[in-house]
Each structure stands twice: as C-alpha cells, then as structure tokens.
C-alpha cells in the first residue's frame, strides 16, 4: 500500500504513587500535576514501536527512567504554566525545554524522559536490519 515503509510511534506517561499523569487539560490540572511532582521522584515510561510495513515485521518496547523534581514554589509553577509548555506533555513538563529547570536529577536515559528512547530505538532498527551507525 501507499505510505511510508517504516513507521515509528512512541508515547510517554508519567507515574507517581501508582497514578498515571497524562497531558493536562487546563492550567489548573497542570498546576495540580506539578505540585504533586514537586520535591518527589516519579517514573517516566516511554513505549515505542517500529514497524517495517514492507516485510511485515516490527519491534517494540518500553523504557523507563526515574526523575526527581526540585521543590517548586507557587511563583515558579505559575511562570512555567504561563509559558504554555505543560499543555502537550505527560506530567505537565517537557525536559527538553524550560521543564529542565524543574528537575533535580534523572536516573536513566534523558531521551526516554524526552519521549523517544533513541539508544533503544537504534537497537530496534538494527534488529530489523537497519543499522544506524
């Protein structure tokens, strides 16, 4: 059929205390998520799939990382939310933007937190016969 021969899809969730935090619907929900993450450690899971439509084969997986936030005050939360950055991000923050300033530490792969675990994705491509290096 028509369309790309190789498809890559990925999605990310933030989990704290067993609860999944998706993308906030509004500023109030973003603030609630960020308050919940403030000063605590959470897990970021990014799932991915690589599909070779030509050969009908695929690889998929999930990578996880632990992220610890700094303690955030209400002024910091308000400024970050006003930036607009939280609204299309799981857990209401983007590690690749201003959200990096919210983070005290990452245990795991930065790209997993960003939403596309590149090293693992590279291995998936290699297992399908596409060497990227």
How many domains in the chain?
A: 1
Which residue is catalytic, options 11, 26, 60, 88? 11
Q: Tell me: the pLDDT tens digits for 56-109?
A: 999 999 999 999 999 999 999 999 999 999 999 999 999 999 999 999 999 999
pLDDT at residue 2, as a whole number? 67
CATH of the domain at 69: 3.90.950.10
Percent of the chain past pLDDT 90, that is, above it, reads 92
Rounded to whole angstroms, the Cα distance separating 82 from 59 reads: 39
Binned at pLDDT 50, 70 and 90, residue 1 comes out as low
pLDDT at residue 96, as a whole number? 94
Residue 133, in any domain of the structure: no
Residue 113, in any domain of the structure: yes
Rounded to whole angstroms, the Cα distance separating 21 from 119 reads: 25
Q: Between the CA of residue 126 and those of 45, 116, 119, 120, 131, what are the distances in Å?
A: 22, 16, 11, 10, 5
Residue 17, in any domain of the structure: yes
Comparing CA positions, the residue from 131, 128, 122 lying closest to residue 58 is 128
Residue 29, in any domain of the structure: yes
Residue 21, in any domain of the structure: yes
Q: Is 11 one of the catalytic residues?
A: yes
Domain of 57, in residue numbers: 6-127
pLDDT at residue 132, as a whole number? 85
The runs of H, that is alpha helices, within the chain are 27-37, 74-82, 110-114, 118-127
Rounded to whole angstroms, the Cα distance separating 1 from 5 reads: 9
- What mean pLDDT value characterizes the chain? 95
Residue 1, in any domain of the structure: no
Residue 132, in any domain of the structure: no
């Amino acid at each position: 059929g028509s369309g790309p021969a190789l498809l890559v899809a990925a999605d990310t969730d933030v989990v704290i205390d067993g609860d999944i935090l998706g993308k906030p619907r509004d500023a109030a929900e973003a603030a609630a998520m960020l308050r919940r993450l403030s000063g605590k450690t959470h897990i970021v899971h990014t799932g991915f799939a690589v599909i070779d439509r030509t050969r009908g084969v695929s690889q998929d997986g999930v990578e996880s990382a632990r992220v610890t936030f700094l303690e955030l005050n209400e002024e910091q939360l308000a400024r970050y939310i006003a930036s607009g950055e939280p609204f299309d991000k799981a857990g209401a923050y983007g590690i690749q933007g201003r959200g990096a300033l919210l983070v005290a530490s990452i245990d795991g792969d930065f790209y997993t937190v960003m939403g596309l675990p590149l090293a693992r994705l590279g291995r998936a491509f290699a297992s399908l016969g596409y060497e990227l290096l």
